Structure 1
């Protein structure tokens, strides 16, 4: 009987801001995404939600725009979904501030979702390419990040 291969050790999550910025890669998911909410959560297609947040005012779900449209859900912000491929530690300091600042300097709204492995940014879909360029500028501004 053969044993399943054990997972290869991975690098620990990064905590050094300069290194995170120097190695920052940004991936854009295809499509458009929207925030929807309902006081009665059973009205939302939770199985289609890519992210959920439970608040006192109701459940918020991030859905693909076409899924929200198919379910007749209203929304007012249409976003592009950008993922930061640096594996930042949850206790790391400064990454969210750095990406928010570079986007704010260009007047680009940014809604941040933190996952265990990566941070995700929802920016106005019509400013997707401008946001990508702004985020890539962080890497050029922080070149010292070798292994």
Structure 2
């Protein structure tokens, strides 16, 4: 299946799906400690940002201050598609929900406050229904 670029089809087909677990953003300098399986990494001047399961961060003694739930948008979005991130972030922002977006090759991944995952899923499904 080829990636989708049409915003209407992206929104109606996003099928938000929660991933189990609690995830945190933390930073290390140098290589990550052994035993971590990051779901995302970002190299910055200040260090390597890791998104890892909370229990992995705790076991490694890593510091963090944001606990997130991970939602995957199951639509196969093209990396050059325009508007999906803005539409999703706007819908969540209007409800006062922070959203950190990570684009993978096939899907977009949202990290929202852990305690607001269910509410976020509901809002995203409503957005998809309005787009259809």
**TM-score, normalised on structure 1?**
0.86
1:21 aligns with 2:34: no
Give, in whole Å, the separation in 2 of the partners of 1:108 and 1:78.
13
Contact preservation (8 Å) 2:35, 2:56: no
Structure 1, 44-53 or 18-27: larger mean CA deviation: 44-53
1:69 aligns with 2:20: no
Give, in whole Å, the separation in 2 of the partners of 1:68 and 1:81.
16
The answer for the alignment partner of 1:50 in structure 2 is: 39
**TM-score, normalised on structure 2?**
0.95
- Structure 1's 64 and 141: CA in aligned 2 closer, same or farther, altered over 3 A? same
- Alignment equivalent of 2:121, drawn from 132, 136, 142: 132
- Alignment equivalent of 1:103, drawn from 92, 111, 120: 92
Task: Specify every segment of 5 or more residues in structure 2 that has no aligned partner in the other structure, as ranges.
Answer: none
The structure having more radius of gyration, on CA atoms, is: 1
Alignment size in residue pairs: 132
